Amino acid sequence: MRAPGRPRLRRLVVAAASGAAAIVATAAPAAAHTVGGVDATNYATTIRSVSPADPDVTVRVADNGDRLELTNTGRTDVVVVGYDDEAYLRVGPRGVFENVRSPAVFLNRVRRDPEPPPPSADPEAPPRWRKVSDGQTARWHDHRAHWMGAQDPPIVARRPGEEHLVQRFRIDVRAD
C-alpha cells in the first residue's frame, strides 16, 4: 500500500558521481561556491545514468555543479524525492511546483550550513504544492550532489594533484 500523497507508478533513478580534481589552485571548496551565482571550483558533479531511460525526462548538471536541472516534456508529472523520501518537486505539463512541507525546500536555499527547516516542514505530511514556474524544467540546489565538508575529503588532501571520486549519490524521481 502506498503512502498518501506519494505517486505509486514507476521510479526513475538519477545516479551520479561527485568528483574532485585539485589540479588548479583556486579557492578552497568552502569559499568556492554560492547558491546565488556560479564560481570557479575544483569539484565536478557528473550524471552517470537515469534509470530506466525515459525520452521525456532529461537531467543535467547546471551552474558549474551548483544545481541540478530536470526537464519533463511528457504528459504526466514526475516528482523529485527529497532527503526524507518525501515529495519535493513536481514537474510536468502544468508547470513546476515545490512541496512547501518538504524539508528540502528550506535546506536547499543555501549551499552550506542550512538552518533547520521550520516545524511546518514535515516529510510525513501530505504535500502542499506551490507553483514556482509555468515551464517544464526545475532547477535546484541539492546537497546530495556536492561535497559538504568544510575541508577537502581525506583522499584529496592526501593526493591533491590527482582526480578522485569523492562520493556517489542517487536521487529518486517518481513518475506518474
Lowest-pLDDT range of 33-47, 97-111, 148-162: 33-47
- The alpha carbon of 38 is separated from its chain's Cα centroid by a whole number of angstroms, namely 16
Give the integer Cα–Cα distance in Å for 7 and 94. Answer: 16
* Residue 97 reports pLDDT greater than 50: yes
Section 149-174 average pLDDT = 84
**What was the pLDDT predicted at 11?**
55
Cell 521510479 sits on residue: 11
- The alpha carbon of 170 is separated from its chain's Cα centroid by a whole number of angstroms, namely 9
pLDDT per residue over 98-147, tens digit each?
A: 999 999 999 988 777 778 888 999 999 999 999 999 999 999 999 888 77
Q: Domain spans of the chain?
A: 11-175
pLDDT per residue over 3-40, tens digit each?
A: 444 443 455 555 555 444 322 222 234 433 344 454 55
Q: How many CA within 13 A on the CB side of residue 51?
A: 6
* Residue 49 reports pLDDT greater than 90: no
The residues that bridge with 49 in the sheet, in sequence order, are 15
The residue among 23, 15, 20 whose CA lies nearest residue 33 is 20
Give the integer Cα–Cα distance in Å for 111 and 144. Answer: 11
CB 138 within 8 A of CB 77: no
**What was the pLDDT predicted at 16?**
52
Cβ-based neighbours of 31, under 8 Å, separated by 6 or more: none
Section 32-55 average pLDDT = 67
Q: What percent of the chain has pLDDT over 70?
A: 76
How far CA 72 is from CA of 54, 75, 78, 91, 146, in Å, comes to 9, 8, 7, 6, 23
CB 95 within 8 A of CB 104: no
Task: Write down the mean pLDDT value for the chain.
Answer: 79
CB 152 within 8 A of CB 160: yes
CB 37 within 8 A of CB 109: no
